[in-house]
Amino acid sequence: MPTLAEKKSTRPSRPAPELIFGDLWEFDPAPETADPKLKPRYDLFIGGEFVAPKSGKYFTSINPADELKLADIALAGRDDVDAAYAAAQRAFDTTWGRMPGRERAKYIFRIARLLQDRAREFAVAETLDGGKPIKESRDFDVPMAAAHFFYHAGWADKLDYVAPGRRVAPLGVVGQVIPWNFPLLMLAWKIAPALAMGNTVVLKPAETTNITCLKLAEILQDAGLPPGTVNFVTGAGETGAAVMGHSTAAKVAFTGSTEVGKIIMRSLAGTEKKMTMELGGKAANIVFDDAPLDQAVEGIVNGIFFNQGHVCCAGSRLLVHEPVADRVLAKLKNRIRVLRVGDPMDKNTDIGAINSKEQLGKIAALVDSGVKEGAEMFQPACKLPAKGYYFRPTIFSGVSMSHRIAREEIFGPVLSILTFRTVDEAIEKANNTAYGLSAGVWTDKGSRILKMSVELKAGVVWANTYNKFDPTSPFGGYKESGFGREGGRQGLLDYCKLA
Ligand code: NAI
Ligand code: MG
């Protein structure tokens, strides 16, 4: 029974203790209101200017949260890609490639600062275009993108220390293709090290997320970057293939699906092009019985539900030590009952919109396969908006290694839980995958963390945390997760020739 004071209050009364995790309190809407300053139409960015595509064709970019149109985006054909490469080669030969590193640094610092100045506007644009919660684009994507430019600006005049005892030189023009899960951040990961080293760039963003890339083009203009140093061509797979296969490219860098990565690798076999690939993942997040379980649960939730699970290094497989498996599952269920799914522009939203209808279909199909193959599914009963692409956070328990949901990349807010009894079994299960991008270990025991970090075949191993990033820290995969590193000194080495 509510007390008299609670009856009088206009605020919802405090629920009985057993209901604290049962019901989601309604919050008042808290929409972010900054103006994203969108243009109705975006052209290609070639030679420092916005230019119409030679074909005159455009495609539509929508907001996955409500399916409404945001802007028209130019569709680049082969001749537009040629023009972008010609501009990049010219800039490499005449300006950017010849400039001393200390001068290049000034431009890259300027890009970082201009991005910070417009951070809120960029965060809103990123959320509208891609569907991720505003609190993530505001607190993670945009600040991390700026941090990558700052970090690499700091390297540009210190390149003699990238490979001590050796001299480094830029490669020339690099071609880059990026995915839709971190549109601005992936762009920063790609262009900042390339520019610091003195390369020039032709980049294609993903077809569903072009807007922050083209807004960054405005910043490149404002920074006075020499025309042609960075060129953006927009379009889908065909445009991407033209960027990756172009004869002018000295190096190509790709982030996206393993399937497309393999197509690109096959098409470039036998050429002299350097290549780096950042592909899919099926990371194991491993929880031992001595772990701080409440912290681990937060880490598991962050590991898989962050950005709707559209994360190549998402902790999509939870390996939990048998003695604590039931407790962890109960805690996880309680935790995801109170995740807020819905309008990505609301500051309280935890899980926003799935990036596209195609991706939503792929997630739903894999979840169906989990149910059919006999795993036990749990989803909270949260209401989903009537329009837009949404998926409830989903947990599968009783998963075995042969289930599709344990093997295939789902790229959505879906966690598959497996159990283990011994350290060796945990390692064996974690490594039993075609991928090897990342892993997480939760334990109180330092020696076990060190052992696991050696035994796990993954590019990144997080200990008692998950999804932590820093520009100084190299990121990249083992096995079918790709090769090459982004970030840190190692990332710069992938953009230079050594003499
Ligand atoms: P995708 O690999 O088709 O797209 C990534 C980028 O590659 C986009 O810019 C796309 O336009 C471009 N592309 C497509 N075909 C190409 C080609 N033949 N040559 C050159 N570029 C090409 O990924 P998609 O279809 O958007 O997502 C499918 C699955 O891939 C997801 O469900 C997820 O499992 C995985 N994925 C993994 C990512 C990662 O960061 N590792 C990122 C995006 C998707
Ligand atoms: Mg695709």
Say which CATH number the domain at 487 has: 3.40.605.10
Task: Give mean pLDDT, residues 305-315.
Answer: 96
Closest ligand to the CA of 258: 1
213 backbone φψ class: left, alpha, beta (φ>0; ψ -120 to 50): alpha
- 58 forms beta bridges with 74
Q: Note the pLDDT tens digit of each residue in 161-212.
A: 999 999 999 999 999 999 999 999 999 999 999 999 999 999 999 999 999 9
Cα(368) to ligand 1 centroid in Å equals 22
Q: Is 425 a catalytic residue?
A: no
Q: Minimum mean pLDDT among 2-11, 205-214, 284-293, 485-494: which range?
A: 2-11
Ligand 2: distance of its center to the CA of 239 in Å?
Answer: 12
DSSP 141: I
The residue range of the domain holding 440 is 284-463
Question: pTM score, two decimals?
Answer: 0.94
Q: Which atom of ligand 1 is nearest to the CA of 243?
A: 20
**Which contiguous run of DSSP H or E holds residue 363?**
helix 357-372
Shared domain for 48 and 175, answered yes or no, is yes
On whether residue 25 sits in a domain, the answer given is no
Mean of pLDDT values over 261-265: 97
Task: Say if CB 459 and CB 477 are below 8 A apart.
Answer: yes
Q: Percent of the chain, pLDDT > 90? A: 94
Q: Residue 3 pLDDT more than 80? A: no
pLDDT in tens, 55-65: 999 999 999 99
- The total of structural domains in the chain comes to 2
Instruction: Classify residue 427 as left (phi > 0), alpha (psi -120 to 50) or beta.
Output: alpha
CA distance 14 to 343: 26
Considering the domain architecture, whether residues 206 and 63 belong to the same structural domain is answered as yes
Would you state the pLDDT for residue 23? 58
With 60 as the cut, is the pLDDT of residue 22 above it? no
Amino acid in the structure at residue 151? Y
Q: Nearest CA to 230 among 191, 273, 187, 172?
A: 191
Give strand pairing partners of 475.
486
- Residue 68's pLDDT band (boundaries 50, 70, 90)? very high
Whether residue 422 is contained in a domain is answered as yes
- The rounded percent of the chain whose pLDDT value lies above 70 is 95
Name the DSSP letter for residue 24. P
Q: Tell me the two tokens of residue 174.
A: 């690099």
Please state the rounded mean pLDDT for residues 267-271.
94
Does ligand 1 lie within 6 Å of residue 213's CB atom?
Answer: no
Ligand 1 centroid, distance to 484 Cα (angstroms): 18
- Given a cut of 80, whether residue 13 has pLDDT beyond it is no
Answer whether 383's CB lies under 8 Å from 390's CB: no
* Residue 118 neighbours by CB distance under 10 Å: 20
Helical H segments across 55-174, by residue range: 78-94, 101-117, 119-130, 134-136, 142-155
- Verify that 261 and 375 share a domain, yes or no: no
User: Quick one: 295 and 313 in the same domain?
Assistant: yes
d(CA 153, CA 115): 14
Q: Do 249 and 274 belong to one domain?
A: yes
Q: Is 244 helix (H, G, I), strand (E, B) or coil?
A: helix
Per the CB < 8 A criterion, the answer to whether 76 and 44 are in contact is yes
Is 103's pLDDT higher than 90? Answer: yes
Same domain, 125 and 209: yes
Is the same domain home to 272 and 324?
no
| Residue 138 reports pLDDT greater than 90 | yes
Residue 395 and residue 367 share a domain:
yes
Contact 354, 390 (CB under 8 A): yes
For residue 177, the ligand 1 atom closest to its alpha carbon is 9
pLDDT at residue 6 greater than cutoff 50 = no
In sequence order, the β-bridge partners of residue 50 are 45
Which ligand neighbours the alpha carbon of 311 most closely?
A: 1
Regarding whether 330 and 274 lie in a shared domain, the answer is no
Per the annotation, the verdict on 322 as an active-site residue is no
Neighbouring C-beta atoms of residue 144, cutoff 10 Å: 17
Residues 52 and 173 in one domain: yes
Residues 265 and 297 in one domain: no
Q: What per-residue confidence (pLDDT) applies to 27?
A: 85
Q: What is the 359 CA–ligand 1 centroid distance (Å)?
A: 11
What pLDDT, on the 0 to 100 scale, is given for residue 16?
45
Q: Are 333 and 365 part of one and the same domain?
A: yes
CB 179 near ligand 1, within 6 Å: yes
- Quick check: is 430 in a domain? yes
Is 468 inside any structural domain?
no
Are 205 and 181 in contact by the 8 Å Cβ rule? The answer is no
Q: How far is residue 162 CA from its own chain's centroid?
A: 26
Beta strand 482-483 with 496-498 is: unpaired
What pLDDT score was predicted for residue 484? 94
Could you tell me the CATH number of the domain that includes residue 373? 3.40.309.10
Question: Could you tell me which of 174, 325, 320 has the C-alpha nearest to residue 254?
Answer: 174
pLDDT score recorded for residue 499: 85
Q: Is residue 6 part of a domain?
A: no
Question: Can you give the pLDDT at residue 26?
Answer: 79
Q: Answer yes or no: is 272 within a domain.
A: yes
Can you list the positions of beta strands (E) in 157-280?
168-170, 173-177, 200-204, 230-232, 251-255, 274-278
**Is residue 2 one of the residues assigned to a domain?**
no
Cross-strand partners of 317: 284, 416
> How sure is the predictor about 24, in pLDDT bands with cuts at 50, 70 and 90?
low
The answer to whether residue 224 is domain-embedded is yes
Both tokens of 36, joined, read: 């994203």
Tell me the per-residue pLDDT of 411-428, one tens digit each, with 9 for 90 and over: 999 999 999 999 999 999
- Which tokens in the block code for residue 248? 């002018």
